[in-house]
Structure 1
Amino acid sequence: MGNVVASNNDRVSMKFVTLVSIVSALGGLLFGFDTAVVSGAVGFMEDRFDLSKLQVGWAVSSLIIGCIVGAAMSGVLSDRFGRKRVLIAAAILFIISSIGSAIPDTFSGFVIARIIGGIGIGITSTLCPLYNAEIAPAKYRGRLVALNQLAVVSGIFLTYFVNLWISNSGNEAWGIETAWRWMFGVGAVPGVLFLVLLFFVPESPRWLIKQGQAAAALPILLKIHGEKLAKQEVIDIKNSFANENGSIRQLFKPSLRIVLIVGVGLAILQQVTGINAVMYYAPEIFKATGAGTNAALVQTILVGFINLLFTIIALWLIDKVGRKALLLFGSASMAISLLVIGIAFHSGHTDGPFVLVFVLLYVASFAVSFGPVVWVLMSEIFPNRIRGKATAIASMALWAADYVVSQTFPPLLNTAGPATTFWLYGAMALIAFFFTWRLVPETKGKSLEEIEVLWKR
């Protein structure tokens, strides 16, 4: 992308903004890697450490506990020390975790390393979209923030193949002793790349202005907007801070309480519609339809490809059709897909490609809507002075919901059965549709300061 002509003969430097946003979005790649890598490693680890089924679950979910902690810390830390410094700290935690997960001789040592990595991922999952939102021009903010989700699904998709390549590099004994170590250890490579590149990006101009450093923020905004628009943006940002004290209590005032409800509500709904149950346990779902182990793994890779493809489509659509339209379409399509999958399991007609087609439709519907759009909205709807803390609250709610879904899916599948389980997620998708329709405003094309005014009407 080159320079895009804006009003008043100013120019938006999309080359600079895009490069900075790509660096920030690399945090999403780490997020995707850490989410997917354990799926290829846990079978070997089960034999290596003689794990119980409860411990296998803990090997998967310990990362999420760290993510909840990291998300909770991210707001206060980034408001105090800046978005860039805290992202650098998160990259260091991720590198430590990748190496620490690869070398332990005890299961408890592995879990500690994974929780450390989770803290880093909780921070990056909150701050990378927030940073991109604070630096992006309003017209292109949706796609630039959604780059983070594209990086997440790219990380998941690529990690499936890395796991397969490593696991095929030796015999079973080598896999039990060594393969899983390489799977985790290779994560240090993108971690180091992310760390190094972060030193070349600027601090968030909105955070700088919040700290009274408008002189340091102006050159960054000049690179993005050109002189006239940059100076106006400094004034708008300063004015947005004038009526805020930075306390999270502001979000509980009647005029802004709805912002918190929308942010936290969308975060929870993104997870309780069941996406990570499908992503974490896709092979088991396909085995339940009668597919063999190899066929189930191939179908799982297909799920990853569809997730990636439709996330790319979302990047193209989000600033054209808007956030709300995508959420409404996606939630309706997810509800229909989950209803049909439930009917197939209930009637016993799970042979052939029927269930696979509707699982792929469900994943595509999520990837084009709730996957990227929720992260975009979480990064842009909160007022400037409390954006860090408020986004952290919403992100913490999202990770907590992820933990609940990932822990309850196997017992639900065993007790209630697949039909009832998928109908339950379908009901959540229907609730997401009406929640969006009634409460979520359209933010397409609006500056962060204009969105802030929108809530006060």
Structure 2
Amino acid sequence: MTTTTRRKSSTFYVILIAGAAALGGFLFGFDTAIINGAVGAIAKAFNANSVLTGLAVSLALLGSAVGAFYAGKIADRYGRVKAMVAASVLFTISAIGSGIALGIWDFIFWRLLGGIAVGAASVIAPAYIAECSPSHLRGRLGSLQQLAIVVGIFIALLCDYFIAVSAGSAESPFLFGIAAWRWMFWTEIPPALLYGMSALMIPESPRYLVAQGREPEAANVLTKILGGDVLTKIEEIRQTVLREREPRFSDLLSRNGGLLRIVWIGIGLSVLQQFVGINVIFYYSSVLWQAVGFSEQSSLTITVITGAVNIITTLIAIAFVDKFGRKPLLILGSIGMTLTLGTMAYIFGNAPLDAAGNPNLTGSAGTIALIAANLYVFCFGFSWGPVVWVLLGEMFNNKIRAAALSVAAAMQWVANFLVSTTFPPILKNFGLGSAYGLYTIAAATSFFFILFFIKETKGIELEDM
């Protein structure tokens, strides 16, 4: 076999196993977005007030924070593959339970289980992909996680749309006379089972295997990934991961008792990724566009278009993240988000109000807001969406990676929860202009954060971090 042929087969193998791990990202996007089409029907079915309905949506995000926090510890103790299988079981149980729920509280319980699985998948996939990828491909393969997330969101929105349209509404009977909203949750069962089966077919992370003293197995995996002689690589990994005890969260503390600077930087990346308000677009987009005068049908169509824009821009990020590097893409994204969010804040803040107190976008204002919103998604999609996950998978050294990723991802879910739960009251009490004003400030802050705190990781081996 020639060197070129061997390299091609190694690359194909790495793409296959990274793709299987990224299925966790698909379920992450699918699970968080599938509830969009069902919220109103659930409120009616269980006669739930706005507070309980809000909890049904947002408590899953806190479950995700819990799942993210503990996933690293579980992945370090039992392996990345077993952690993926456990997440797939939770996704499946949550999907079945959410569809058969008898009341709002057991529905919240099933969604919480799904949230734990989402949080676990959000940590395990980037860590596994980073640990199995050659340095020259790591950025592109790490971006598969974000691509899988946005495809998951898009497919979930399409499932909601087609089921609701076929049944007449989310509350109406669908197949076998069962309410359409229940079928929305059951559509998650096939990908959840596929994730578990795929996880059982991929090899364990070579870095985990070396840490467990299973070096012959690690050598076998690395030969398939890198080709050629891998003994030097195993020695490098051994130097950075072999230790007498399991990793602990105390490893993240500096000598003076505070968190290590690199962990704070990871938390900053995670929190800013959410504080720019991206999930307001995905969780509340139909509500948002209806609030400024679009019909329900048009709002759903705009939501699907936005989902498609997100997929296209993530593909752009995958193409360029290993060529341009992480830092330039993040800086460009921050500038673009600041300008587009600022435009939306200005338009919504200065629009005349209708009788219900919602901004009424007259003339060209509606078109400009629509273009600005999709340009904002474009700027997020090629930068902060995928690149943050790439950085979180590679910026920490081997000793602290799983634990540090857990903390950073958990904070990301807490930030997501804060943004998602504060948007409706901000919208109600202060208006859309104020909400987007806050997200503009976060986007401007993100620019300076990247400029001063982020170092380029393109092409650097994980052992040298």
**TM-score bin, normalised by smaller chain:** over 0.9
Matches within 5 A, 1:347-366: 347-348=350-351, 350-351=361-362, 352-366=366-380
Separation of aligned partners in 2, 1:12 and 1:258:
39
Q: 1:303 aligns with which of 290, 306, 316?
A: 306
Q: 2:397 aligns with which of 372, 379, 383?
A: 383
Matches within 5 A, 1:108-123: 108-123=105-120
Aligned partner of 1:181 in structure 2 is 182
Matches within 5 A, 1:195-214: 195-214=196-215
Residues 159 and 187 in structure 2, CA contact (< 8 A), matched pair in contact too? no
Aligned partner of 1:343 in structure 2 is 346
Residues 211 and 243 in structure 2, CA contact (< 8 A), matched pair in contact too? no
Q: CA deviation digits over 1:227-272, x for unaligned, max 9?
A: 23x2221111111236896343333327982211111110001001
Q: Which segment is superposed worse, 208-217 or 235-244?
A: 235-244
Q: 1:20 aligns with which of 17, 20, 27?
A: 17
Q: CA deviation digits over 1:31-90, x for unaligned, max 9?
A: 111111100111211211111111211121121121111111101111111111011001
Residues 210 and 385 in structure 1, CA contact (< 8 A), matched pair in contact too? no
Aligned partner of 2:295 in structure 1 is 292
Residues 98 and 111 in structure 2, CA contact (< 8 A), matched pair in contact too? yes
Residues 283 and 296 in structure 1, CA contact (< 8 A), matched pair in contact too? yes
Q: 2:56 aligns with which of 54, 59, 63?
A: 59
Separation of aligned partners in 2, 1:202 and 1:5:
23
Across the aligned residues of Structure 1 and Structure 2, the Cα RMSD in angstroms comes to 2.1
Aligned partner of 1:222 in structure 2 is 223
Residues 17 and 136 in structure 1, CA contact (< 8 A), matched pair in contact too? yes
Q: 2:144 aligns with which of 139, 147, 150?
A: 147
Separation of aligned partners in 1, 2:150 and 2:251:
35
Aligned partner of 2:233 in structure 1 is 233
**DSSP-derived class of the 2:323 partner:** coil
Aligned partner of 1:170 in structure 2 is 167
Matches within 5 A, 1:399-410: 399-410=413-424
**Matching residue's letter, 1:314:** A
**Matching residue's letter, 2:349:** H
In the TM superposition, residue 170 of structure 1 has moved relative to its aligned partner by: 2.4
In the TM superposition, residue 215 of structure 1 has moved relative to its aligned partner by: 1.6
Separation of aligned partners in 1, 2:424 and 2:88:
32
Separation of aligned partners in 2, 1:211 and 1:333:
45
Seen in structure 2, the aligned counterparts of structure 1 residues 257 and 331 have a Cα distance that, compared at 3 Å, is: same
Separation of aligned partners in 2, 1:168 and 1:3:
54
Aligned partner of 2:459 in structure 1 is 445
Residues 272 and 425 in structure 1, CA contact (< 8 A), matched pair in contact too? yes
Seen in structure 2, the aligned counterparts of structure 1 residues 254 and 303 have a Cα distance that, compared at 3 Å, is: farther
Could you list the runs of 5+ residues in structure 2 that have no partner in the other structure?
353-360
**DSSP-derived class of the 1:227 partner:** coil
Separation of aligned partners in 1, 2:30 and 2:90:
14
Question: TM-score, normalization: structure 1?
Answer: 0.94
Could you list the runs of 5+ residues in structure 1 that have no partner in the other structure?
453-457
Percent identity of paired positions between Structure 1 and Structure 2: 38
Residues 3 and 13 in structure 1, CA contact (< 8 A), matched pair in contact too? no
Separation of aligned partners in 1, 2:404 and 2:153:
27
Q: 2:265 aligns with which of 254, 262, 265?
A: 262
